[in-house]
Amino acid sequence: MLRGLYSAATAMDAATTNQEIISHNLAYANVPGFRRSVMSFETFETRLQRQLASEPGAHLGTRVSQVKTDFQMGRLEQTGRPLDVALASPEGFFVLGGPDGP
Better-predicted residue by pLDDT, 3 or 36:
36
- Please state, in angstroms and rounded to a whole number, the distance separating the CA atoms of residues 3 and 9: 10
Better-predicted residue by pLDDT, 31 or 63:
31
Which band of pLDDT confidence, cut at 50, 70 and 90, is reported for residue 57?
low
Residue 59: pLDDT over 90: no
Work out the number of other CB atoms within 10 angstroms of the CB of residue 37: 15
Q: What is the mean pLDDT of the chain?
A: 81
- DSSP code per residue over the chain: -HHHHHHHHHHHHHHHHHHHHHHHHHHTTTSTT---EEEEEPPHHHHHHHHHHS-TTTT-S--EEEEEE------------TT----SSSS------BTTB-
Residue 67: pLDDT over 80: yes
- DSSP code per residue over 65-80: EEEEE-----------
* Closest CA relative to residue 14, chosen from 54, 70, 64: 64
